[in-house]
Each structure stands twice: as structure tokens, then as C-alpha cells.
Amino acid sequence: MLSRLFPEKCPGLTTWAQPKQAVYLQDNDSGRQVQIGRFDPTFPGPGNQMVPIEASLLESGVSALLRCAESDRKWITVDEVGYLEAQCVPYRAALETLLEKKQVAAVVRKQELPFLRELCRRKDAFVVDLDDPFGKTGCVIMASGYGKRFGGNKLMADFHGEPMIARILDATAGIFSRRVVVTRHKAVAALCEKRGIHVVVHDLPYRNDTVRLGLEEIGEVDNCMFCPADQPLLRRETVASLVLAAANDPDSVWRTGFEGTFGSPVLFPKWTFPELLTLPQGKGGGVVIKKYPERLRTVGVRDMYELKDVDSPEDLKELLER
């Protein structure tokens, strides 16, 4: 993961284990390796059967962290921070110093130890749980527009060899604990059902109806993203970024933006659900956004065309050319 984030190896520390034997630490700058843990079968296991070798942690680990804190590099990597490191008070202090002075990409072992919990609860920490990165998040795909300006059901219009709505179905795949498409179009419903995606078909006239039907159908989730079906250039990485941001700040409303222009999709936390279920006739989630501007946060997109929807044949032509 770190090698994908950073094309050049960053200064910092790397640890690895030989199961039931030892744990080693490497200073990435010098390449020097030392043993920082030895296996002790008498310790209660299975997670904590390594005994820390404090002299090695002090000599190599602490000195490397403090040197990194004073380096001219922007990013430092630490892989990983776990049980052994948490037992060494000087190492913990050196890591805290590093965190105050540098941007640090670290792997923290998922273990109920006070120091490890404190690291993940820092206000300046962005945490991704690699076992469950997206949490209990729902997605309502809004596919109920009449397509009057387009001249018909735009969602089934050809977009490089596939129906346009297929782009949004791909961009939201594999992220959400539950996903539902709300539509009035039989062709859209058939396509979604063929892909195994749950569909609500209705003939109600207003936007608030689509929001309510989707949220009612989505079930028990901690937050829910509302995604228009007519933004064919929306990237999957943008969708994932919204969900990861919400996992780190679950009380905020998250939306996409580009250089001061804001758009969809928008991810709403659970506390907004009662108001979303009772929106005024003809209104959408923008009512909630305007009511709580202090709760709104933005994830930037790479290309303004991600936020552009298709209302007319001219729009479709423009996005096809992009």
C-alpha cells in the first residue's frame, strides 16, 4: 500500500516478523536492521507473544524517528505501530514528536491498546480500517427524471457502447453495504435487476418522493449517499473518497466540489434522515444542506466534468467527447 502511495521510498521505519521467532525493524534511510522482539511461548497469546527488546527500540527506532522529524522530507512512513512499539515509552514519545512535525503515513495494528487507540483518535488523523474501509453506508441512485429536455429516457442512451446509467452503476459498485436504484423507467429497472442491484419502481412525481422511497428501502445504515444517475464521468475513486471522508467525520454532510463549484453526489449522516424523509414537496436534499451550512464539508474532484450531468443531447455529446 505504501509503495503505491509513494513512488519513491520515504524515510521512516519498517518492521516485519518471523512467526514464533522474532520481530525486526529497519531504518529505511540507512537500511540498518535490528531485532526488536523475541518470541516467548509462555506469554498469553496469540497476539502478544513477542517480548520487546527495548535497547534496540531505543538505539534504532527512537533515533530514526527523531532524525526523520528534523529531516527536510514532507512525508514519513512507519510500518507498523503495534504491540512492541506501544510498550516502549521513549518510542511512543518520539513518534508523537514526529506526528507533530511531519505528515506521516502509518500502519497501526488493530489492537485494543491505549496508545494505538489514541493514535487513531487524533483530530489530525485520517484513518482507514483496511478490514472494513467503508463501514455501514447506503447508496440511493436517483434515476427518476422524466428526461423532458433530452427527449426521452436519457439513462438508456448509448455512452461508448453501454447505457449511460451503467457508468454510475460501475462507479458505485463494491463500496456500499446496501445500494438501491429508484426509477420510473422499466428499461432501467430491467438493467439493474440483471446486474443484481435492488430497484424501487414508482410513478410518483416529485424529487422528495425519490429521496423518501430510496431512504425507506435502504434500511439500517449509518449514512447514505444520494447519487444522480446522469453523471457518466463520475469516478469510482471520488465515490470512495466521499465514503472514507464520512467515516472520519460521521457528523458532517459531505458533497463533491471543484474550485468553488459544488455538486453531487452528496452523503448525508444518519441524523439527517428524519428531515430527508419529510422534505417539502418537490424539494431535494439541498433543503437540509442550506439549513445546516456549518455541517457541510467538501471532497474535491480532479475534473469539473465529473460533476456535470446530462440534461440535453448537447450535454451528452460534450461528455462523450471528454
Query: pLDDT (tens digit, 9 = 90+) per residue, 251-265?
Result: 999 999 999 899 999
Burial class of residue 10 (count of CB atoms within 10 Å of its CB; 0-12, 13-18, 19+): buried
Q: Which tens digit of pLDDT belongs to each residue from 180-206? A: 999 999 999 999 999 999 999 999 999
Domains (range + CATH), the chain:
2-121 (3.40.50.300), 137-321 (3.90.550.10)
- Which residue type does 111 have? Q
Closest residue by Cα to residue 187 from 238, 227, 229: 229
**Distance separating alpha carbons of residues 110 and 107, to the nearest angstrom:** 9
Match 440534461 to its residue by C-alpha cell: 311
Q: What percent of the chain has pLDDT over 70?
A: 99
pTM listed for this prediction: 0.87
pLDDT (tens digit per residue) in 135-187:
999 999 999 988 888 988 999 999 999 999 999 999 999 999 999 999 999 99
Reported as a pLDDT band with limits 50, 70 and 90, residue 47 is low
Q: Name the residue among 260, 220, 261, 258 with its Cα closest to residue 238.
A: 258
Q: What is the structure's pLDDT at 9?
A: 74
Report residue 279's pLDDT band, with 50, 70 and 90 as the boundaries. very high
Average pLDDT over residues 215-244: 96
Which residues does 222 contact at the CB level (< 8 Å), separation at least 6?
Answer: 135, 136, 137, 250, 269, 270
- The helix (run of H) or strand (run of E) holding residue 182 is strand 178-183
276: left (phi over 0), alpha (psi -120 to 50) or beta: alpha
301 exposure class (CB count in 10 Å sphere: 0-12, 13-18, 19+): buried
With a cut of 90, say whether residue 132 has pLDDT above it.
Answer: yes
Q: What is the mean pLDDT of residues 90-107?
A: 95
Three-state DSSP state, 321: helix
pLDDT above 90 as % of the chain: 84
pLDDT digits (tens, 9 = 90+) for 4-25: 787 777 789 999 999 889 999 9
Nearest CA among 147, 129, 141, 197 for reference residue 313: 147
Q: Assess contact for 265 and 242: CB atoms under 8 A.
A: yes
Geometric angle at alpha carbon 136, from 132 and 140, rounded to 5°: 125
3 has a pLDDT exceeding 80: no
Q: Report the pLDDT value the prediction gives residue 45, as an integer from 0 to 100.
A: 66
249 three-state secondary structure = coil
